[in-house]
Amino acid sequence: MARFLMCPPDYFGIEYEINAWMRVSNQVDREAARAQWNALHRALVGELGASVELMDPVVGLPDLVFTANAGYVQDGTFVSSTFKFKERQGETPYFDAWFSSHRFRVLKLGPGCVFEGAGDALPIGDTIIAGYRHRSEICSHVELGRITGRRVISLELIDPLFYHLDTCFCPLDKCAALYYPRSFDAYANRALEEAVPDLVPVSDSTAHRFGCNAIVVDGTVVTNTGCEDLEKPLAARGYNLRMVDLSEFMKSGGSAKCLTIRLD
């Protein structure tokens, strides 16, 4: 059974600007955000039979809802993030406490090396695809490889709108993934082509609707609304598309996948 961690958006808001999507002047409608988050939670639990654990929201940590950035999870080990911006650094003790009280082994990377967890590191088969430049630093990938024992392929993200890897790349299974080619440089495109046998490019408009920020639960791919053109390529590979309106979270530069972290 797919297992996730989410954090309710009680204190979610745009209190600072740390990515190209965020504008303090473009405030969140908290009630709408709550309804959207509930709809995502319902889709995962009620429709898709996933198990979703919840952590307590914390006043003054508006981005704690984006649990994808907590760290990187593999086989009961949690590699804790080292956030780039001080605005998010206060989240770490809460994430670490949650994972250690839920019987994960909590590991830290060496100090001074930015690493933003499952936002920038995504496993596909036995390989980890990892992004760097806007947030995570490439030095974190070396340590991640050492800790996990996996091959890590480091890719530079070139577009500030696609600042975390999970905004432009989404593994579907061992050999297929959605990706937005323009957010990677030529080398990264070649590396992806070599590593992933079935790469599915998404359109500009779907990429900008966070179509790659998708949650895969068995045969269903959950994304933000406005990603209709994913339906065909997904159906051809045996997947259903389930869209949930997450427009309030886009104001913060996030969508479906960022609001969850896979625990199993």
Any idea what DSSP says for residue 231? H
Taking CB under 6 A as the criterion, the residue among 80, 82, 167, 206 binding ligand ARG is 167
Q: State how far the Cα of 209 lies from the Cα of 250, in Å rounded to an integer.
A: 8
Indicate the residue among 104 and 162 with the shorter CB distance to ligand ARG: 162
Given phi > 0 = left and psi -120 to 50 = alpha, else beta, which region is 49?
left
E strand or H helix that includes residue 42: helix 30-42
Q: Among this protein's residues, is 134 annotated catalytic? A: no
Taking CB under 6 A as the criterion, the residue among 4, 37, 40, 88 binding ligand ARG is 88
The CB-nearest residue to ligand ARG is 119
Q: Among this protein's residues, is 258 annotated catalytic? A: yes
Residues numbered 43-82 forming contacts with ligand ARG, rule: CB under 6 A: 63, 66, 68-69
| All residues at 6 or more sequence positions from 67 whose CB lies less than 8 Å from its CB, including other chains | 4, 5, 6, 7, 55, 95, 258, 259, 260, 261
Is 166 a residue that touches ligand ARG (CB under 6 A)? yes
Q: Which stretch binds ligand ARG (CB under 6 A): 25-33, 179-187, 240-248, 252-260?
A: 252-260
Other CB atoms within 10 A of residue 185 CB: 15
Residues of this chain that bind ligand ARG (CB under 6 A): 18-19, 22, 63, 66, 68-69, 88, 119, 164, 166-167, 252-254, 258
List residues with catalytic annotation. 164, 258
